[in-house]
Amino acid sequence: MSNSEPLSFMKKVQLFVLSIGPGLFIIGYNIGTGSVTSMASTGAEYGMTLTLPLLLSCIFTYILIVVFGKYTLVTGDTVIFSYKKHFGKSAGLFVLVALIFTEAVGSVGVMAIVTQVTQEWTRPLTESGNGIDPLYSTFGYGVILYALLWNGKQNFFEKVLAVFVGVMGLSFLVTMFMVIPEPAQVISGVFSGIPNETGAFLLVASMVGTTMGAVIYVVRSVLIKGKGWGMEQLPLEKRDAKISAVIMFVLSISVMAAAAGTMYQEGIKVDNAIDMVKLLEPFAGRFAITIFVGGILAAGLSSLFPHIMLAPMLLADYKGENPDFQSKTNRLISLGIILLSFTVPLFGGRPVFIMILSQVFIATVTPIVILLMFILMNKKQVVGEHTLSPIKNLLVGLILIFSIIMAVLGLIGIFSL
Q: Residue 408's domain is classified under what CATH number?
A: 1.20.1740.10
Is residue 392 in some structural domain? yes
Q: Is residue 2 part of a domain?
A: no
**Secondary-structure breakdown of the chain: helix, strand, coil percentages, each rounded to the nearest 5:** 80, 0, 20
pLDDT (mean) for 234-261: 81
Share of the chain above pLDDT 70, in %: 70
Give the angle subtended at the CA of 104 by the CAs of 101 and 105, to the nearest 5°. 85
Q: Cα(18)–Cα(398) distance, rounded to whole angstroms?
A: 33
Rounded to whole angstroms, the Cα distance separating 108 from 126 reads 26
Within a domain: 251: yes
Residue ranges making up the domain that contains 110: 20-416
Q: Does residue 354 sit within a domain?
A: yes
Residue 5, in any domain of the structure: no
- Within a domain: 215: yes
Would residue 284 count as lying in a domain?
A: yes
Q: Could you please report the per-residue DSSP string of 316-365?
A: HHHHTS---TTSHHHHHHHHHHHHHTTHHHHH---HHHHHHHHHHHHHHH
Can you say how many angstroms the Cα of residue 118 is from the centroid of all Cα atoms in its chain? Answer: 21
Domain total in the chain:
1
**pLDDT level of residue 192 (50, 70, 90 thresholds):** low
Nearest to 416 by CA among 197, 263, 269: 197
Backbone conformation region of residue 198, classed left if phi is above 0, alpha if psi is from -120 to 50, else beta = alpha
**DSSP, res 194:** P
Alpha helices per DSSP H over 261-272 = 263-266
Whether pTM exceeds 0.85: no
* pLDDT tens figures, 361-394: 777 788 999 999 999 999 999 998 999 999 999 9
pLDDT of 6 over the 60 cut = no
The residues, any chain, with a CB within 8 Å of residue 61's CB and separated by 6 or more, are 211, 212, 216, 244, 245, 248
Residue 10: inside a domain: no
What is the DSSP-derived secondary structure letter of residue 32? S
Angle between helices 51-75 and 198-211 (to 10 degrees): 30
Sign (positive or negative) of CA dihedral 217, 221, 227, 231: positive
Q: How confident is the model at residue 167 (pLDDT cuts 50, 70, 90)?
A: confident
